[in-house]
Amino acid sequence: MFQVAVLDKNNCSVDLRKLILMLSIVSGLVIVVSAFYAAYSVQRQQLIQASLANNYVYADKLAKTTDDFLGSAQQQLMFSAAVLSGKLHDKPTLASEVDRIRLQTDSFNSVLIVDVTTEVLATSPEALQITGLKLSTPGVLESIRQRAPVISNPYVSTAGNLLIFISHPIFSGNGDYLGFVAGTVYLKKKSALHRLLGEHYHKDGSYIYVVDQNRRLIYHPNAARLGETVDNNPLIDRLVQGDEGESIIVNSEGVEMLTGFAIARKTGWGVVAQRPMRAALAPLDNLMQQVVYKTLPAVILCFVVIVWSAKKISMPLRMLADGAQRMNDDGTEKNIQNVKSWYFEAQELKKAMLLGVGLLHGNIRKLREDLHKDPLTGLGNRRSLDAALQKFKNLQMDFSVLSIDIDYFKTVNDTHGHDVGDTVLQHLAQFLSHICRVDDVPCRVGGEEFIILLPGTHKVDAAKIAERLRQNVEATEIPVVGKITISVGISCYPEDARDVFAVFKHSDEMLYQAKRHGRNRVEVFQRKSAHAQASA
């Protein structure tokens, strides 16, 4: 009977050790896999949201740039209309003026001057051979009817070109309507607008397309689809209704796309920027692989500790079993009381497991920190900007916003290439980092667009900081490029607005005002300026 008891004790000891090992390993795997799955799911959602936001910002900026282009084209025609007032009978002047407009920039594919009877008085290029003819195209008729600046809807001309018609009326000194000067932009041929909408540098399947209010494709990477009318498309339905935003869609090729869309206000055109879901999530897959590689040694170490701990667990359990065998001996109760039974052992196992989990969470925290930084410049990105704004809101803290943009940055990229452009962005990021105080928040929010949040700083001091930054940038030579300049717009919360979005809008307005006033300057938002603009 004694031998049976010994065998039972040994068998239970062995079986319990295996059970502890199995439970420990299974528990560890469940925790590690769950943690990885949770980290992947959270970061995946964050990357999707970031890509959606970036696509919307890109579409919005492209829409605004399109508006700027059309506004510039209208200004050219307006200037020419003033020059031509009273000179519609001077054929050499008319011929010279249409050639000047067409050749001065590549905004227009053709230029013409039409009198009030719709007769073409002059045209460039002459190869069109329409001088002296009376036209009845939609653009001409709309310009005559409105007697005001016109940007037509896209239509197919008598020559078979898909175009938009931009015109400005010509009045005599007495205010009599004489006709108009107009430029045409061929949507299927090379022009400044075609480059603006068509030149993008994505290599991951991303693309841009533009539709007008009649659902007609103005630009599409597939040139064969230009002029096509798109029906039964929920996204285009939203654009026609003037909606802007972001959405996840499946395109006509069955690819899941992260989409941002915005409206060009001068024409009502909808600009859509799309990126494949697969391309957006590719960085996350690489990051998670690195986390696995860096975490694996620690996880292996933890499991070694668990095996060792399971072996040690059998020793106090045997002591308890020996005490149970000697229930009638003196001192057995005291010996059992002195054994730190399951509480101690469970606590030790818990510590071992927490060691591995703690290492994993440390790596995940590092991953999240990296996702809050712009990989090129090391500055904060939109997520860090949002986090700072939430902090300021919680603390009810006043702050100033500096919206910063590199002047003529596209020229740098076009002249020297994107590698040099990236170097310029990194140099500017260094300037921002050096000039910022401990609590300031410098961020990169777009291609050459930066924002600095200055907590507890009013506009006067913010303007001094911005001016010092502008002067430092202007005075510094950058390899290959030379000197660059920046434009800065400033607004203040809550002095300029109680709504944070409005404060950022004001700083953007000041940035564009700085651009309009010649660049390389600092503009500060003032309430009276906003009121005057609203009145105008």
Catalytic machinery residues: 448
CA distance 155 to 164: 7
Locate all alpha helices (DSSP H) within 273-381, ordered by sequence.
277-325, 332-338, 342-371
Question: In which element (H, E) is residue 218 found?
Answer: strand 217-219
Gap between the Cα atoms of 508 and 402, Å rounded:
9
Buried b (16+ CB within 10 A) or exposed e, 360-396: beebbeebeeebbbbeebebbbbbbbeebbeebeeee
Give the distance from CA 133 to its chain's centroid. 49
DSSP designation for 518:
T
Q: What is the DSSP code (8-state) at residue 376?
A: T
Closest CA to 470 of 534, 526, 514: 514
Burial class (CB in 10 A: 0-12, 13-18, 19+), 338: exposed
CA distances from 526 to 359, 397, 499, 531 (A): 51, 20, 16, 9
Strands 155-156 and 150-151: unpaired
Question: What is the DSSP code string of 258-285?
Answer: EEEEEEETTTTEEEEEEEEHHHHHHHHH
Place of tokens 């409105």: 146
- Residue 415's DSSP bridge partners are none
